[in-house]
Amino acid sequence: MKKPQAIKKILIANRGEIAVRIIRACQELGIKTLQVYSEADRHSLPVLMADEIVCIGPARSRDSYLDIKKIISAALVYKADAIHPGYGFLSENAEFAECCEKESIIFIGPSPQSIRMMGDKATAIRLAKEAGIPTTPGSDGIVGDYQAAASIAEKIGYPILLKATAGGGGRGMRIVQDKGQLEAAFMEASQEAKSAFGNSSLYLEKYLSNIRHIEVQVLGDGNKVLHLGERDCSLQRRNQKLVEESPSPVLSEKMRVKIGNAALKLCRHVNYRSAGTIECILDPATNEFYFMEMNTRIQVEHPVTEMVTGVDLVKEQIRIALGQGISITQDQIQMRGHAIECRINAESAENDFRPNPGRVNEYFAPGGFGVRMDTHLYSGYVVPPYYDSLLGKIICWGSNRDEAIERMNRALLEVKIDGIETTRLFQRNLINTPEFRTGKVHTRFVQDSFLSNYLK
């Protein structure tokens, strides 16, 4: 392992807004950046911003951003000391982290063993149980076939949720309402998991309704672990997050401490080193929470936590990977005010969220007090059709929740993205519903109530 002071250059193995985010952190730390890119991203913002660039292949992710050999070769040829994987792509790939280790390149993330343990969702649940953290009733690990699933479902009761152990990004899940649907759903879900993640293994959980998604941001460096409060990500569509906020409008101080302590306990149990997120389900009716999964990477919505704590999570993640340790203590973390994030996607909400790539004729960023926009957009940029449709995120801070919402209202009107359809106005409608305003939403609110009204 290289000494921290020897770190001069970081390779960024990602694209879009998160690549820009990482480049900015490196610039402030005085570290040079090497941006790898696919042919489709030749004119993208991170490629324009980085100190050095190298093309690693054609548009298709499999031939570029997911090609371990090409990325490692680029790091070796261009003498990068470390690799930041961002989110998605290779960020939770243990084999990639291992290849970095073999070549004495620092992987900015947890150890391959941690990724293996916590990145595999069924294993992570077992470890959480071991650590005494509540989990949703369900299977004890992988279920081999639908008959095995049926006997567990019989015990815990329908509806149940089939989940891919390698799943992520809201994919590879199936709700099963009764026994009659189980066999077909099992086949479908394992097929989908196989093609999306290269791993068909499934586990199952009781499907809970009227729940909220609450997650805890953690940092661990081998000596200490600390948490930076929670994010509430209950506004979702198809199990994918749309709006995130911190603090949660429904969590009491007592529950905040309880969930935060559970997250720390789990991190200690697996000796977690890096930035990570412990995702939980909260049932507001009973105030019970259940561990759901851990993401062993930086998350899309990390800026919400940065805005209320003042801690730069990407810099801390880099510091930890370089062996410098976390720069703060738990006592120094104070949550101040309220922050909300709206994801802006190149999608047409009116047409079942159909992706809408193309040329952005004009981009104008929102600004002013408490407004942050993380994006790779610029006027004239052509959004390629090959990747995730996330264009950027607007994050607004306010001294309280109402002010944060009003500021978001303003920012969503101020931002200008001309030429392609985006979810900007859909998001504006969503944050102004009485349900969101009063903090009374659940993870099915968008799909069950909001969407049909919006489309009218």
Does residue 317 belong to the site contacting ligand ADP (CB under 6 A)? Answer: no
Q: In degrees, to the nearest 5, what angle opens at C-alpha 340 toward C-alphas 41 and 14?
A: 20
Which CB sits closer to ligand ADP, 31 or 299?
Answer: 299
Out of 16, 46, 85, 88, name the contact with ligand ADP by CB under 6 A: 88
Query: Which CB atom, from 35 or from 93, has the smaller least distance to ligand ADP?
Result: 93
Q: Which of 108, 124, 292, 395 binds ligand ADP (CB under 6 A)?
A: 292
Q: How far is the CB of 304 from Mg ion (least distance, A)?
A: 15
CA distances from 211 to 129, 132, 234, 317 (A): 21, 21, 8, 31
Geometric angle at alpha carbon 232, from 208 and 271, rounded to 5°: 90
What does DSSP say about strands 273-283 and 240-246: parallel, antiparallel, or unpaired?
A: unpaired
Chain-centroid distance of CA 40 in Å reads: 24
Q: Which is nearer to ligand ADP, 66 or 328 (CB)?
A: 66
DSSP secondary structure string for all residues of 157-201? -SSEEEEETT--TT-SEEEE-SHHHHHHHHHHHHHHHHHHHS---
Residue 206 and residue 298: Cα distance in Å, rounded? 28
Interacting residues with ligand ADP between 247 and 276 (CB under 6 A):
none
- Binding of residue 423 to ligand ADP (CB under 6 A): no
**Span of 62-70, 184-192, 202-210, 407-415 interacting with ligand ADP by CB under 6 A:** 202-210
DSSP letter (8 states) at residue 346: S
Q: Taking contact as CB under 6 A, which single stretch among the options 70-78, 288-296, 323-331, 360-368 is the one that binds ligand ADP?
A: 288-296
Which long-range CB contacts under 8 A does 148-151 form with residues at least 24 apart? 149/182, 149/186, 149/202, 149/204, 150/179, 150/182
The reply to whether 136 sits near ligand ADP by the rule CB under 6 A is yes
Asked if residue 107 binds ligand ADP (CB under 6 A), the reply is no
Q: Which of 293, 341, 347, 374 binds ligand ADP (CB under 6 A)?
A: 293
71 binds ligand ADP (CB under 6 A): no
Q: Is 85 a residue that touches ligand ADP (CB under 6 A)?
A: no
146 binds ligand ADP (CB under 6 A): no
Residue 279 in the binding site for ligand ADP (CB under 6 A): yes
Where does this chain touch Mg ion (CB under 5 A) — which range of 271-279, 314-322, 361-369, 385-393?
Answer: 271-279
Instruction: Check residue 212 for interaction with ligand ADP (CB under 6 A).
Output: no
Exposure on the CB side of residue 360, measured as CA atoms within 13 A? 23
Of the ranges 9-17, 67-75, 84-92, 322-330, which one interacts with ligand ADP (CB under 6 A)? 84-92
297 is catalytic: yes
Phi then psi dihedrals of residue 319, to 5 deg: -55, -45
Exposure pattern of 152-179 as b/e (b: 16+ CB <10 Å)?
bbeeeeeebbbbbbbbbeebbbbebeee
Of the two residues 31 and 90, which places its CB atom closer to ligand ADP in the complex? 90
Number of residues that bind ligand ADP (CB under 6 A): 31
Residue 70 or 442 with smaller CB distance to Mg ion: 442
Residues in Cβ contact with 4 at an 8 Å cutoff, skipping those fewer than 6 apart: 322, 323, 324
CA distance 409 to 425: 10
Nearest-angstrom CA–CA distance, 239 and 242: 9
| Residues in Cβ contact with 309 at an 8 Å cutoff, skipping those fewer than 6 apart | 228, 229, 333, 334, 335, 336
Which one is catalytic: 231, 297, 343, 424? 297
Q: Distance between CA atoms of 247 and 138, rounded to whole angstroms?
A: 29
Q: Indicate whether 388 belongs to the interface with ligand ADP (CB under 6 A).
A: yes
Q: In the stretch 148-177, what mask flags binding to ligand ADP with x, by CB under 6 A?
A: -------------x-x--xxxxx-------
Q: Which stretch binds Mg ion (CB under 5 A): 12-20, 49-57, 273-281, 312-320?
A: 273-281
CB atoms within 10 A of CB 364: 12
346: number of CA atoms within 13 Å, CB side?
Answer: 26
Q: Which is nearer to ligand ADP, 240 or 449 (CB)?
A: 240
Among Mg ion, ligand ADP, none, what does residue 241 contact (CB within 5–8 Å per kind)? ligand ADP
Residues forming contacts to ligand ADP in the complex (CB under 6 A) are 87-88, 92, 136, 161, 163, 166-170, 197, 205, 207-208, 211, 213, 236, 239-241, 279, 281, 292-293, 295, 299-301, 388, 443
Residues forming contacts to Mg ion in the complex (CB under 5 A) are 279
- Catalytic machinery residues: 297
